[in-house]
Structure 1
Amino acid sequence: MTTGLWWLVGRIGTGGRGVSVAGPLALVLVAALWTLTMILGWALIYCPHLPGGFSYSSDLDPTQRAGFLDALYLSAVTVATLGFGDIVPADGWLRIVVPLEALIGFALLTAVVSWISQVYPAVTRRRTLALRLSALRRAGRPADRFGPTMTSSLLTSLATDVIQVRVDLTQHAEAYYFHDAEDEMSLAAMVDYAADLAVQGQTSPSVEVRAGAALLGRALEDLTTVLNREFLRLDTDDATTILHAYAADRVRRLS
């Protein structure tokens, strides 16, 4: 659903405003699909046993409450743990099944909240890395401003952040579809500079700097592998081509 929505927004060409809601809207749609599927599935279980398997309150006529719509109502009330009590299970096995749906509904709510609370930190970490790279690019070449030890530490820190982004994309692929409003906050727009830092560091006379640059270069290669395998699906293993395709897929949607 998330990939399809991202593709649809790109085809419609709604610009930055449309792209900016693609990620959050996808979360809402997926959560809604989970909920609706559960409600529908349990309604199909209840429907054949209405009205005989259930007891009704005195103001309800059981003969008028035996359709699929009533099964949907019962399932929705149960999964939401509202417990109105106007329709309650009477058969022994239904008295076990109905509370089970309520427990699963509570677990579903907890899962949705936990899922969403994990996606946004992943998006924040990616944007933070982009802002770091933007600040470094404006500050000038690290080797010209810092000593070998600080430059090595900087490259290693950037490599760690790149690895974290790779882990986030693996565990929370939906974070990829969250739009970055500005180029400075877009890793797709800034990742080329990280690659330049890795290349520049390889020519340093300092062993420490070369080691940090090698680590950053390897982290970027691993990131491109995940980007290509999970999202871009290009018929190439060239890291530069993949990074350019990543930038094209993300940055072009600003216009």
Structure 2
Amino acid sequence: MKWLVSLAGAGLVMITLRDLFHTLWHPTRHGGLSRLVMTALWRLARRFRGRRRVVGLVGPLAMVTVVSMWAVTVILGWAIVYWPHMPEAFTFSPGSEAAREPALLDSVYLSLVTVATLGLGDIAPAESWLRLVSPLEALVGFALLTATVSWVLEIYPALTRRRVLAIRLALLRDSDPTTQQIDCTAGALLLDSLATEVVRVRIDFTQYAEAYYFHDGEDHSSLAAVVGYADGLARRGQAARRPEVRLAGDLLAGALRDLAAILDQRFLHTGGTSTQVFAAYADDHGRSRAQP
């Protein structure tokens, strides 16, 4: 029976590590529990009045919640591993009151100290298998800390790329170039560069799905508000006379279709056209979509 309880604790740790792996390191990053937490917080925030302020907190708050969830489940999992063998399989420092505490409390304390790599030493494993297993928890704790830092360092560059594209589209919308102005070599280069940036954002939504749950702030920096204008630019390019401009327009239109497909497949689930998906994207982020 003791070993079954310990195996249950080990299973809880493995489930957490699997979720961490799929959230941070899997190529398509299909997170499990972490994705559910973020989606639930996003939907809850959208129910509030004046939701822009509330929704703006969802991304950072969701990341903190997910990391806390990972830490708590790892600590509890290892505590369950120790619990059936406490206190007979452990040694206690002289004069320590720990041996008089409930076994579960001692197990949680030992797990917390070990995962934090504090190594206080007032409770130490005595059996050989526990002496081998206990350091693994410290390694898991170090990996969790490293993964959290890496996650933060990865997500914010992705958000920057998205906002740069949004601001660029907003500036183009304000200047409102005509079809004749686009129908030149400079116009072809413009559309081609926009297509490249859209592809980067599309990859970011694939690899950093949690970036979707970050609010972009003002309309001029919100991709949800201005992505419809990029659709209009692509159509102007496709209608141009110069072949290089038409080619660049086709590239931008294709990149936008791919972006809409990713948004619909992973977040919106409308099953509609690119125009309908972008409208749903704007609505989900509390924006009025820019007209082509």
The alpha carbon displacement at 1:92 in A equals 0.6
The 1-side partners of 2:146 and 2:215 are apart by 26
The alpha carbon displacement at 1:239 in A equals 1.0
Matched residue, 1:206: 242
Identical columns (%): 50
CA contact (8 A) 1:51 1:62 kept: no
TM-score by length of 1: 0.95
- Give the unaligned 5+ runs of structure 2: 1-36
2:67 is the counterpart of 1:31: yes
Mean Cα displacement is larger for which, 138-147 or 191-200? 138-147
Matched residue, 2:283: 248
- Give the unaligned 5+ runs of structure 1: none
1:247 partner amino acid? A
Match runs of 1:58-137 below 5 Å: 58-61=94-97, 63-137=99-173
The alpha carbon displacement at 1:105 in A equals 0.8
The 2-side partners of 1:164 and 1:19 are apart by 24
TM-score by length of 2: 0.83
What SS does the aligned partner of 2:46 have?
Answer: helix
Aligned length: 252
2:39 partner amino acid? T
The 2-side partners of 1:95 and 1:83 are apart by 13
1:123 partner amino acid? L
Match runs of 1:92-241 below 5 Å: 92-141=128-177, 143-145=179-181, 148-234=184-270, 236-241=271-276
CA contact (8 A) 2:224 2:287 kept: no
2:188 partner amino acid? S
Q: Please list the CA deviations of residues 65-117 of structure 1 after superposition, one character each: whole Å capped at 9, or x if unmatched.
A: 34211111100110010111111111111111110110111011101110111
CA contact (8 A) 2:42 2:213 kept: yes
The 2-side partners of 1:123 and 1:63 are apart by 50
Match runs of 1:8-47 below 5 Å: 8-47=44-83
Greater relative CO, 1 or 2 (CA 8 Å, sep 6+): 1
The 2-side partners of 1:105 and 1:138 are apart by 50
Mean Cα displacement is larger for which, 128-137 or 146-155? 146-155
The 2-side partners of 1:227 and 1:178 are apart by 14
2:84 is the counterpart of 1:48: yes
The alpha carbon displacement at 1:12 in A equals 2.9
The alpha carbon displacement at 1:145 in A equals 3.9
Q: Residue 112 and residue 243 in structure 1: after superposition, are their counterparts in 2 closer, same or farther (change >3 A)?
A: same
1:18 partner amino acid? V
The 1-side partners of 2:50 and 2:88 are apart by 52
What SS does the aligned partner of 1:55 have?
Answer: strand
The alpha carbon displacement at 1:144 in A equals 4.1
CA contact (8 A) 2:48 2:54 kept: no
What SS does the aligned partner of 1:11 have?
Answer: coil
CA contact (8 A) 1:78 1:101 kept: yes
The 2-side partners of 1:146 and 1:226 are apart by 28
CA contact (8 A) 2:91 2:125 kept: yes
CA RMSD of aligned residues (A): 1.5
The 2-side partners of 1:170 and 1:98 are apart by 36
